[in-house]
Homo-oligomer: A and B are copies of this chain.
Amino acid sequence: MTDRAAWQRLDADDPLRAFRERFELPDGVIYLDGNSLGALPRATPGRVAALLHEAWGRDLITSWNKHGWIDLPTRVGDKIARLIGAAPSEVAVADSTSVNLFKLLSGALDLAPGRRVVLSDRGNFPTDLYIAQGLVGLRGGGLALEVVDEARVAAAIDATTAVVMLTHVNYRSGRMHDLAALTAAAHRAGALMLWDLSHSAGAMPIDLNAAGADFAVGCGYKYLNGGPGAPAFLFIAARHQAGIRPPLSGWMGHVAPFAFDHDYRPAAGIARNLCGTPAILSLVALESGVDLMLEADLAAVRAKSRALGERFWARVTERCPGRFALASPADPAARGSQLCLSHPEGYAIVQALIARGVIPDFRAPDILRFGFAPLYTRYVDIWDAVEQLADIMATRAWDAPQFHTRAKVT
């Protein structure tokens, strides 16, 4: 156990080690799926309870003013802005990532008259592609979604490209696009750049404004630990905000929602991109997760994330030689905060791991995805997870009937 003890010392020396105690984590579980659903911050239940009893229950409708509910979408947006290199007035929290993508893609098409292509990569998260398909179908006029292999995106941007829509870190492989380089490539061709930060916000330093990015969306329930289905965020560079005509022109984006005007007139800033009444319970839980993330040094988060990934792969090659192909880039600098293995029996192997309290996730058809959330994933968790994986492979423990039964959500 000398080696495991050495990994425990890494935890003892970890500058982020105190964060783990800020989460409520189940005993006996090694959770390596924070890239799908982040863990529960200990502060969150108390904040939600206060919202329920002291705001909703006691102050009722007056809470919109008294407890600042009306400002929550921009207040939490301002906080997220600090995590992604945006200015405070450039981010709002609203709706889901999918709905926000629809808004921003539509806005980008408004700003690029005469250009007909939304360009993306074939491996982008499916909902991003679906939303783009739906939007171009709805708007008509020859608009089209075009997808190319991820390595070919830069070369495919041309004078027909209205907007390049990419996910910064690929959900399946963990491959990270070069945010600054691709933004520059889009701009050189006169196109706009939209980033989906769902798999990177909160996992690493991101600087949208340094890169000159035009638009971004992202998810609240992964590395931001906002809770299941937490509202999503949207970023629009200040220079574009006045030119956006919101396609989902709801009352919360009106310049004066409580004037009850008959005609839609968009609010001046980022707020015009709000639509309906925000889901306050979910927003308060998200704010709790974001507040915790703001205490962390994102450079330290990234450094630990890289180390966890490198050590994970090193241990897999040592303990399960030849068993798995690496489905993530070999260069750690080109990966997000996850490491993916492929194996034809990936589904059953993941189920066998879950039965032993190690929770990665599976992505069809054959990907075992291990996510590292540096605020609560320990080095020793990596050690222990790979020990379980090695035992499952050595004993073929995955080849039991119950591990082959598919669940609704995988």
From B65, B231, B246, B363, A260 is in contact (CB under 8 Å) with: B363
Check A250/B96 contact, CB under 8 A, given A221-B277, A258-B364, A277-B229. Answer: yes
Contact status of A172 and B263, CB under 8 A, knowing A57-B24, A245-B137, A282-B282? no
* A230 nearest CB neighbor, chain B only: B279
Q: Is the Cβ of A364 less than 8 Å from the Cβ of B97?
A: no
Cβ of A77 within 8 Å of any chain B Cβ, yes or no, is: no
> Once the chains bind, are B52 and A134 in contact (CB under 8 Å)?
no
Given A139-B138, A410-B258, A62 and B264 touching (CB < 8 A)? no
Task: Confirm or deny: A102 has a beta carbon within 8 angstroms of a beta carbon on chain B.
Answer: yes
How does the 8 Å CB contact mask read for A253-279 relative to B, with 1 for contact and 0 for none?
Answer: 010001111111000000000011111
Task: Pick the residue among B48, B96, B140, B361 that contacts A277 (CB under 8 A).
Answer: B96
Let me know if B48 and A24 touch, CB within 8 A. Answer: no
Establish whether residues A96 and B24, one from each chain, have CB atoms under 8 Å apart when the complex forms. Answer: no
Quick one: which of B60, B147, B252, B279 contacts A279, CB cutoff 8 A?
B279
Q: What 1/0 mask marks residues of chain A from 46 to 81 whose CB sits below 8 Å from any chain B CB?
A: 001100110111111111110001110000000000
Question: Bound state CA distance, A59 and B62, in angstroms?
Answer: 35
Residues of B within 8 A of A221 (CB): 277
Sorting the interface of chain A by its residue count into under 10, 10 to 19, 20 to 34 or 35 or more gives 35 or more
A98 with B275: CB separation less than 8 A: yes
For this chain, the copies found in one complex come to 2
CB-based nearest B residue for A276: B96
A300 interface residue per 8 A CB criterion: no
A44 to B57 Cα, complex, angstroms: 10
Q: Is the CB of B251 within 8 A of A130?
A: yes
Asked if residues B99 and A95 are in contact (CB atoms below 8 Å), the reply is yes
The answer to whether A260 and B364 touch (CB under 8 A), given A61-B359, A95-B96, A277-B96, is yes
- A346 part of interface (Cβ distance < 8 Å): no
The verdict on A65 contacting B408 (CB below 8 Å), with A126-B260, A276-B99 known, is yes
Is A281 in contact with B48, judged by CB distance below 8 angstroms?
yes
Docked Cα-Cα span, A102 to B275, in Å, equals 11
Max chain B Cβ within 10 angstroms of own Cβ: one of A56, A69, A129, A261: A56
- The residues in A between 268 and 296 inclusive whose CB is less than 8 angstroms from any CB of B are 275-283, 285
Contact yes or no, B60 A278, CB < 8 A: no
Q: How far is the CA of A71 from the CA of B409 in the complex (A)?
A: 10
Interface membership of A39, Cβ < 8 A: yes
Query: In the complex, A11→B138 CA distance in Å?
Result: 54
Determine if A249 is an interface residue (Cβ-Cβ < 8 Å).
yes
Question: How many whole Å from A256's CB to the nearest CB in chain B?
Answer: 9
Interface: A174 (CB within 8 A): no
B249 contacts A126, CB within 8 Å? no
